[in-house]
Amino acid sequence: MRFLTTLLFLLSFSSIASANCTGPNVYSSLAESERQALETKAAEAPFSQGLLWRAEKNGVVSHLVGTFHVHLPEHAAMVTRLEELTPQPEKVFLELTDEDQLDFQRHLTQNPDSYLIQTGPSLIDRLGPELWDHVVVQLQERGMPPFLAARYQPWFLGMTLMLPPCAYEVVKSGKKGLDQQIAAMAKANNLPTQSLDSIDGLLTMLASDPLEEQMEDLRWSLSLNTDLAAPDLMGAMVAMYLDETIQLIWEFGSAETFKNVGDNKDKARLAQLLKQAEDDLIVTRNTAWTEVLTKELSKAPALVAVGALHLPGESGVLAQLQDAGFTLTRLPLDAPKNN
């Protein structure tokens, strides 16, 4: 059920009512005891805090930065900070380079069977009026005509709706997230870039489940939140990112997900699926990436830019690099040159 890898983020980490990606911060409204419990759990994870890291092995020094995929005003200062690092990288590693992102889009265009329901009923009939109306509201909040999505396979619908409405507005404005800004920096400095993900790997992770299994997951997931009452979590998560309390983002988002589920059977299923989502979306990719990075970062200085949630945890990129013999040092984002 890898489709839920993305759909769970839709249900728990975004909100239809969201109008501003920078607020409000609902985390501060939680009871102090609840915040303390989440922060204690987050602190148990290795490398639970920090966005910028120095990795050294055999005298070769590289840097890793945790990114936020949607534009934030603070990104400009982060890019400046990265330009000042020493030694300067000889190569930049990204989840997907700009070229590979275009190739992924071309692949979908040339292979519509991979993301469209080509035969049989559309989602309108497969979901029924109540659940389809739920999807319609979410599409309209993002400025998308519902009829365009009626033939989407559930995994692709999940990808489409994964960003909250505020983020859609930012993306449509042409403003770039930190990953894309780093890619532009690399291009301006004639630095080669390399993808850590592959198109085949992403499609296997996201789209390999049979259509009927995807539909079952979609119906169940939408049924958890048909009242559209989920709080706006984006502001809180942006604040945590900027505070560099990265593991707390996962703990908070996971806890809020369970608040929308009352039935014990659903809670058990959700716990299983969240674990699967973590394994598929984060842990498996971290392990594959680290196999590449342990070799490459031992050869020459590099800059690694991956989503911030890939850094912390026992299976995080940082812990895996440490296990491979790298010395990890956290760097402040506002440090002077020569770090």
- Per-residue pLDDT of 155-194, as tens digits, reads 888 888 777 676 667 667 778 889 999 999 999 999 999 9
Specify the DSSP element, H or E, that contains 51: none
Single out the residue of 200, 192, 174 nearest to residue 288, CA to CA.
Answer: 200
Q: How far is residue 313's CA from residue 315's CA, in Å, rounded to a whole number? A: 5
pLDDT tens for 139-159 read: 888 888 999 999 999 988 888
Contact between 215 and 154 (Cβ < 8 Å): yes
**Over residues 225-235, mean pLDDT:** 55
Helix (H, G, I), strand (E, B) or coil at 287: helix
Contact between 120 and 94 (Cβ < 8 Å): no
**Over residues 316-328, mean pLDDT:** 98
Structure tokens at 181: 């800004």
pLDDT of residue 258: 80
Helix (H, G, I), strand (E, B) or coil at 232: coil
Question: Is the pTM here over 0.85, yes or no?
Answer: yes
